[in-house]
Chain A
Amino acid sequence: MKYTFLLAFVFCTFLLSAQKNSVLVEAESFSEKGGWVVDQQFMDLMGSSYLMAHGMGVPVADAKATVSVPSVGEYKVFVRTFNWTSPWYKGEGPGQFRIIINGNPVGDVLGNSGSVWIWQSAGKVNIPNNKVTLSLHDLTGFNGRVDAIYLTKGEEIPPSDLAELTSFRKKLLDMPEKPKDAGEFDLVVIGGGMAGIGAAISGARLGIKVALIQDRPVLGGNNSSEVRVHLGGRAMVEPNPALGKIVNEIGPTKGGNAQPAAYYEDDKKMSMVLAEENITLFASCRAFAVKMEGSRITQVIAKNIETSEELAFSAPLFADCTGDGTIGYLAGADFAMGREGRNEYGEPSAPEVADDLTMGASVQWYSVEGENASVFPEFEYGVDFNEENSQQVTMGEWTWETGMNYDQISEFERIRDYGLLVVYSNWSFLKNHSSEKAKYQNRKLDWVAYVAGKRESRRLMGDLILREQDLTDYVVYPDGSAPTSWTIDLHYPDPENTKYFPGSEFKSIAVHKKVHLYPIPYRCFYSRNVDNLFMAGRNISVTHVALGTVRVMRTTGMMGEVVGMAASIAAEHNTNPRGVYEYYLGELKSLIDTGVGKYDMGNVQKYNMGSTLGPRK
Chain B
Amino acid sequence: MFGRTLIRKNLWILVVILSGGLFCLSHYKVGSTQENFLDWEGTRVLHPFNDTSDASSDQQIIELQGDNGMPLWFARHFFKDVCISGKCKMIRLWLFWDGAGNYLGFQVPDNEPLTKSDHTIFEPQDYQKLDKILKDRSSILKNLKQEDLVIIPDSIKNPYELDGYTAATQPALAEVVVKDAVYSCHTIWHTVYGPTQQEIFRLLDERIDAVFLTQMLDSNKPEKIIWAIETVKQHPEYHETFYPRILSFIKSEDEIMAEKALDYFRKKVLKDEQIQKQLVDEMPFFSTSANVELIWRLIENGGVSEEIFRQLLLFVNEGKLQVTSLNLVYQLYQPEFLENKETETLLNNFLNGDDAYVRTLTQKVLKTK
Residues of A within 8 A of B (CB): 249, 253-254, 262, 265, 267-268, 271-272, 274-277, 599, 601-604, 606
Contacts of B292 in A (CB 8 A): 253-254, 604
Partner of B364, one of A254, A265, A271: A271
Chain B, residues 310-340, CB within 8 Å of chain A (1/0): the string is 0000000000001111011011000000000
- B263 to A: closest C-beta gap in Å: 13
Contact (Cβ within 8 A) A602 B364: no
Query: How long is the Cα–Cα vector from A597 to B323 in the complex, in angstroms?
Result: 13
Contact (Cβ within 8 A) A275 B359: yes
Given contacts A254-B296, A262-B299, A603-B289, contact A249 B324 (CB under 8 A): yes
**Closest B residue to A253 using CB positions:** B292
Contact (Cβ within 8 A) B357 A602: no
- B366 to A: closest C-beta gap in Å: 13
Contact (Cβ within 8 A) B289 A604: yes
Contact (Cβ within 8 A) B322 A599: yes
Given contacts A253-B296, A601-B288, A603-B289, contact A275 B324 (CB under 8 A): no
Contacts of A275 in B (CB 8 A): 355-357, 359-360
**Closest A residue to B287 using CB positions:** A602
Does B361 reach chain A (CB closer than 8 Å)? yes
- B20 to A: closest C-beta gap in Å: 42
Contacts of A599 in B (CB 8 A): 322-324
Partner of B289, one of A268, A272, A276, A606: A606
Given contacts A253-B292, A604-B289, A604-B292, contact A268 B356 (CB under 8 A): no
Query: How long is the Cα–Cα vector from A260 to B330 in the complex, in angstroms?
Result: 17
Contacts of B293 in A (CB 8 A): 253
Contact (Cβ within 8 A) B327 A274: no
Contact (Cβ within 8 A) A276 B299: no
Query: How long is the Cα–Cα vector from A254 to B289 in the complex, in angstroms?
Result: 10
Partner of A274, one of B296, B323, B360: B360
Given contacts A253-B328, A254-B296, contact A271 B357 (CB under 8 A): yes
Contact (Cβ within 8 A) B357 A604: no
Given contacts A262-B331, A267-B364, A606-B289, contact A601 B299 (CB under 8 A): no
**Closest B residue to A512 using CB positions:** B172
Contacts of B364 in A (CB 8 A): 267, 271
Contacts of A272 in B (CB 8 A): 357
Q: A599-B323, A601-B322, A604-B289 are in contact. List 18 more A-B contacts (CB 8 A).
A: A253-B289, A254-B296, A265-B328, A271-B361, A274-B356, A274-B360, A275-B356, A275-B357, A275-B359, A276-B356, A277-B356, A601-B288, A601-B324, A602-B287, A602-B288, A602-B289, A604-B324, A606-B289
Query: How long is the Cα–Cα vector from A601 to B359 in the complex, in angstroms?
Result: 19
Query: How long is the Cα–Cα vector from A454 to B335 in the complex, in angstroms?
Result: 39
- A299 to B: closest C-beta gap in Å: 29
Contacts of A603 in B (CB 8 A): 288-289
Contacts of B324 in A (CB 8 A): 249, 268, 599, 601, 604
- B238 to A: closest C-beta gap in Å: 29
**Closest A residue to B299 using CB positions:** A262
Chain B, residues 347-369, CB within 8 Å of chain A (1/0): the string is 00000000111011100100000
Query: How long is the Cα–Cα vector from A253 to B357 in the complex, in angstroms?
Result: 17
Contacts of A262 in B (CB 8 A): 299, 331
- A192 to B: closest C-beta gap in Å: 16
Which 3 residue pairs of A and B lie closest in terms of their CB atoms, listed nearest first?
Answer: A275-B356, A275-B357, A271-B360
Chain B, residues 268-294, CB within 8 Å of chain A (1/0): the string is 000000000000000000011100110
Residues of B within 8 A of A (CB): 287-289, 292-293, 296, 299, 322-325, 327-328, 330-331, 355-357, 359-361, 364
Contacts of A254 in B (CB 8 A): 292, 296
A-B CB contact pairs (8 Å), 14 listed: A249-B324, A253-B289, A253-B292, A254-B296, A267-B327, A267-B361, A275-B356, A275-B357, A276-B356, A277-B356, A599-B324, A601-B322, A602-B287, A604-B288
- A344 to B: closest C-beta gap in Å: 25
Which of A268, A276, A603 has the most chain B CB within a 10 Å cutoff? A268
- A608 to B: closest C-beta gap in Å: 14
- B211 to A: closest C-beta gap in Å: 35
- A516 to B: closest C-beta gap in Å: 14
**Closest B residue to A605 using CB positions:** B289
Query: How long is the Cα–Cα vector from A602 to B286 in the complex, in angstroms?
Result: 12
- B304 to A: closest C-beta gap in Å: 16
- B176 to A: closest C-beta gap in Å: 10
Contacts of A601 in B (CB 8 A): 288, 322, 324
Contacts of B289 in A (CB 8 A): 253, 602-604, 606
Contacts of A606 in B (CB 8 A): 289
- B357 to A: closest C-beta gap in Å: 4
Contacts of A604 in B (CB 8 A): 288-289, 292, 322, 324
Given contacts A253-B292, A275-B359, A276-B356, contact A265 B327 (CB under 8 A): yes
**Closest B residue to A277 using CB positions:** B356
**Closest B residue to A262 using CB positions:** B331
Query: How long is the Cα–Cα vector from A149 to B293 in the complex, in angstroms?
Result: 49
- A607 to B: closest C-beta gap in Å: 10
Contacts of B356 in A (CB 8 A): 274-277
**Closest A residue to B361 using CB positions:** A271
- A210 to B: closest C-beta gap in Å: 15
Query: How long is the Cα–Cα vector from A602 to B288 in the complex, in angstroms?
Result: 6
Query: How long is the Cα–Cα vector from A550 to B163 in the complex, in angstroms?
Result: 43
Query: How long is the Cα–Cα vector from A267 to B330 in the complex, in angstroms?
Result: 10
- B132 to A: closest C-beta gap in Å: 11
Which of A254, A601, A604 has the most chain B CB within a 10 Å cutoff? A604
Query: How long is the Cα–Cα vector from A506 to B322 in the complex, in angstroms?
Result: 42
Query: How long is the Cα–Cα vector from A249 to B288 in the complex, in angstroms?
Result: 12
Query: How long is the Cα–Cα vector from A275 to B355 in the complex, in angstroms?
Result: 8
Contacts of A253 in B (CB 8 A): 289, 292-293, 296, 325, 328
**Closest B residue to A606 using CB positions:** B289
- A583 to B: closest C-beta gap in Å: 34
Query: How long is the Cα–Cα vector from A276 to B361 in the complex, in angstroms?
Result: 13
Contacts of A265 in B (CB 8 A): 327-328
**Closest B residue to A612 using CB positions:** B175
Query: How long is the Cα–Cα vector from A254 to B360 in the complex, in angstroms?
Result: 22
Query: How long is the Cα–Cα vector from A23 to B359 in the complex, in angstroms?
Result: 43
Query: How long is the Cα–Cα vector from A601 to B299 in the complex, in angstroms?
Result: 22
Which of A271, A274, A601, A604 has the most chain B CB within a 10 Å cutoff? A271
Contacts of B288 in A (CB 8 A): 601-604
- A253 to B: closest C-beta gap in Å: 4
- A231 to B: closest C-beta gap in Å: 14
Query: How long is the Cα–Cα vector from A265 to B292 in the complex, in angstroms?
Result: 12
Query: How long is the Cα–Cα vector from A272 to B360 in the complex, in angstroms?
Result: 8
Contacts of B296 in A (CB 8 A): 253-254
- A342 to B: closest C-beta gap in Å: 19
